[in-house]
Structure 1
Amino acid sequence: MTKDVIALTPKMPDTAALLVALAAGGAGLDAAATADGAVIQLLGAGGRPLVSVEAPVLLQVPGEAERLLGTPAATPLWWTETRASTAVPEAAGLAGAVAGRLAEVLGGTVWPEGAGRVTTVPVDSEASAAPAPPGALPTVDVVTASTAVVLADRPVVPLTAWLSDVLRTTAAHGAALHLVTPAHCRISLPLRTVLTGAPNRWVVQDPAGGYYDGLSGAVLAWQDGTFAPVRDAEGRARPAEAFGRPAAGTGERRLTVQLRTEQPAEDDTLLGGALETAWRTLTGAGPAGWGTAEPVNLPWSPRRFTDLARGRMPEPTLVTAVGHPDRPALATVRVTRTAAGIEEDATLSLGYGPAEEVPLDAVRELAEALARGHGLIGMLVALGPGRRDPSLAPRYTDPALPVSYTLGARGVAEATLTAARRPPLALKPVRLGPERRPALHYPLGGGTDPAGWEHLAALLTHLRTAVPPLP
């Protein structure tokens, strides 16, 4: 049984319902609130956390339960996670009992199917007697001096609020987060973003034995309290066969738009406009929802997004936005206060099936709109193979190829219009935006030319004195 069990209910789990659910452990267990009351824990002997019950989340965005769990569910609904400690054998059953009782009382369902139980689960394991150390992360499976290890088994592992807290805590202590999953699991794009690069890792259990990195494919082994690459005599990492094994061809593709904009830091500045423009231009509709974690729970609102970012400044804000269920799309947006104003760095990913047309003809229209009305600094568009749904499997995928790059008016002015219009390449940039402060749009092969990355590198080298490459 998975150690994560989720109750999906049409009614909010109030205090009475939570008390009934927490009674699943019998009279011998204590309960305590942590994280400023956002998490309730069932404690075994000695205060060891057995099960953590997260604060219920009101899910108002259609399709989120199906995107993350594969379970269609009507919205609005309440999403309540219970997480069991893997150190205690009975804890997984206890988590299922807590979620099952919530669903029974409130008329909902439990994921995974069959995990919910409505009987009392006695906890007799001696492991429950081990006290939790002060400040311990609740239900993190393994903690060493350098690494926190979290085990997960879901169709798609998302960047939940709890996992975000674990990341912040480990980073504050100079430690790493290693997420360990079976090979059939996928991760969401927001989670991939935070796991990309040392010291954090996505560790995949190889069906043939051992472990490998789900992003790079390097064979891993547990060494000195952390997962590290297995290297040959020359110090090179060894690739895992399971990672390089090609998946069955599906013909699915993914269009990725990376854009950076800048606006003045004024009272009437509204954020999210560039992302919404990109979404509408490429799909015909705006984002469906947004949030600071997954599942994404709030209907799309530039005003609420702006209020959140303004309240957190000067600290940056990172949010996730999702599309409507019939048009899979997902974006991450980072808002940063700079000396010149407010920058938004957005990455929008859109998936397409083999019979669906990728709207490459709309890219130039999008560049024009961003250059005229949204303070565009730069935009890179790329196309490549990828799942239609916005998730990532632990397998090698051919890299995307550039479609185009657009340089905003500020970059053109800094590089000078004469130089920016004459890159050392056999391409002709298209002039966009206001006549007095133009942007330049550079076609790079339409996502079909393998030399597109070389052309982009040459272009950015030509402009580098003024324009850094996009992330």
Structure 2
Amino acid sequence: MGEHEPGETSAVTVAHPLVDFVGDGFVATVSDSPVVGLTEGRMGLLVDAARQSTRVLLITPPESRLTLAMTHYLQLLQGQWVIRNADGALRVAANGRVLQRLDDAWNDLDAAPIEVAADFAQPLVDAATWLQFTISTHHAARDETMLGRALEMISEEICGEAPTGWGVHEPAGIHWNRENLTRFVRGRMPRDTRLFATGGAMHPLSATLQVFRSAIGVTEETKILIALGSDRAVSEAVIARVPAVLAQIASTQQVLFGMAYEQSGAPDATFTAVQTSPPLPVASVIGARAIRDLNIDIDELERSFGAIRAGSRRVPSLVVPFGADPSQRWAQFAAGVGIVGAAQMHEALGLAVRATTGLNEQGSDNAS
């Protein structure tokens, strides 16, 4: 631990057994595992490094894949994933950019993905259609409040069963039980809590949940990834049901904002280097609060998109589908933004997005 690679200079050492070497402002951890998950040890490394204002560099061979939880936490704490080929050549996993030095891994983060070299990351031969959801819901801070329902509803409707497990790291091996999950989160308040969930025997599911106090209650942010499989006809049938599923959630939960996307990826819902398939919007949920506060034209969205009203008749939430043709969805999304207004859409998103605070304290608790 703490030894240097040739050509690297050390600025800080994080005392953790998964540190393989250190560089200028970062620590590196090396794994040759086919699937790199957010184990208790890796979470501890990421949190310990963040507490010392140090970033983590994950180095793997080209064929390794990351779980949703590992991808989420690595990005959240400004870590970076680098691919090392058998000949020692280095590339940034996110965009395929060649690196001369590991210290440069954080440069040009917004660079577009480049054409991927054959020796860097082979395309998936068994790619599956993915569905990704981001749902932000508001809850009253009451004893009867129960968390996890949005995740549970999506899992039941898309995967045909409730999630199987949850936990504070991977593997998420605690039996799925919303009462126990809520009791755990309530016991940690007012601190933020991040949890991870898994499920889906037929359609693998991975999810992250963040719960935090807001000025008027409790906000639950859920990110879900479901691998539907390689049968396009089956996937299209499931995707066609997404607006109705979102409307059902908006009818029973106080949704702030939500989005569903289609993409393709590994059949076990893990991330490969350079995801070559861009996400396509499927549908969005604009919560009743945004509808009311931003004076959004419900009638126009209904006429133009077949938007679905959900929840209260007086001030409903609105589910906006972006059509069945994948090639037209971004154009439909842009048209929806044009009706709502870019500033209004940005503000609507802002109702569901919160700058992360207290992360080190929360993450440290979870890792202990």
Aligned to 1:374: 253
2:360 is matched with none
d(CA) in 2 for partners of 1:337 and 1:258? 19
- 2: CA distance between counterparts of 1:197 and 1:134? 21
Report how many aligned residue pairs link the two structures.
336
Distance in 2 (CA, whole Å) between partners of 1:463 and 1:407 is: 11
Q: Answer yes or no: is 1:440 the counterpart of 2:318.
A: yes
Q: One-letter code of the match for 2:130?
A: R
TM score, norm. by length of structure 1 = 0.65
2:207 and 2:223 in contact (8 A); partners too: yes
Inter-CA distance 400–244: structure 2 relative to 1 (3 Å threshold): farther
With CA pairs under 8 Å and 6+ residues apart, which has the higher RCO, 1 or 2?
2
1:339 aligned to which of 215, 219, 222: 215
CA contact (8 A) 1:384 1:447 kept: no
Partner of 1:463: 344
Residue number among 445, 454, 457 corresponding to 2:334 in the alignment: 454
Deviation digits for residues 112-145 of structure 1 (CA, Å, limit 9, x no counterpart): xxxxxxxxxxxxxxxxxxxxx9972224111345
1:445 aligned counterpart, secondary structure:
coil
2:271 is equivalent to residue 395 of structure 1: no
Give the distance between the partners of 1:179 and 1:457, measured in 2 at CA. 37
Match for residue 325 of structure 1? 201
Counterparts of 2:288 and 2:225 in 1: how far apart (Å)? 25
Q: Distance in 2 between matches of 1:238 and 1:329?
A: 26
- 1:429 maps to which of 294, 307, 313: 307
> Alpha carbons of 1:414 and 1:243: their partners in 2 closer, same or farther (altered >3 Å)?
farther
1:260 aligns with 2:136: yes
Q: Give the superposition deviation at 1:213.
A: 1.2
Where is the helix percentage greater, Structure 1 or Structure 2? Answer: 2
Superposed displacement of residue 364, structure 1: 2.6
Equivalence for 2:151 = 275
Contact preservation (8 Å) 2:240, 2:324:
no
Question: More deviation in 388-397 or 165-174?
Answer: 388-397
1:218-257 equivalences in 2 (<5 Å)? 218-222=97-101, 226-228=103-105, 239=114, 241-242=117-118, 247-257=123-133
Whether the aligned pair in 1 keeps the contact of 2:257 and 2:285 (CA below 8 Å) is yes
Question: Where do 1:65-104 residues align within 5 Å?
Answer: none
For 1:173, the equivalent position in structure 2 comes to: 52
1:287 is the counterpart of 2:163 = yes
The structural deviation recorded for 1:390 is: 1.4
Partners of 1:205 and 1:212 within 8 A in 2: yes
- Counterpart of 1:44? none
1:63-115 alpha-carbon deviations (Å, 9 max, x no partner): xxxxxxxxxxxxxxxxxxxxxx696xxxxxxxxxxxxxxxxxxxxxxxxxxxx
- The alpha carbon displacement at 1:204 in A equals 0.8
For 1:330 and 1:247, the matched residues in 2 are separated by: 22
Q: Deviation of residue 241 (structure 1)?
A: 2.5
* Distance (whole Å) between structure 1 residues aligned to residue 180 and residue 322 of structure 2: 37
Match of 2:71 in 1: 192
Q: 1:412 — aligned with what?
A: 291
Aligned: 1:152 with 2:38: no
**Residues 348-375 of structure 1 deviation map (CA, whole Å, 9 limit, x = unaligned):** 1111222261212332332222222111
2:243–2:321 Cα contact (<8 Å) kept: no
SS at 1:380 equivalent: strand
**Percent of residue pairs identical:** 25
Aligned-pair Cα RMSD in Å: 3.0
1:312/1:230 Cα in 2 relative to 1: closer, same or farther (>3 Å)? closer
* Residue type of the alignment partner of 2:342: T
Q: Is the 8 A contact 2:2 2:13 kept in 1?
A: no
In 2, Cα distance between equivalents of 1:362 and 1:203: 37
Corresponding residue SS for 1:169: helix
> Counterpart amino acid of 1:138?
P
- Displacement of 1:460 in angstroms is 5.8
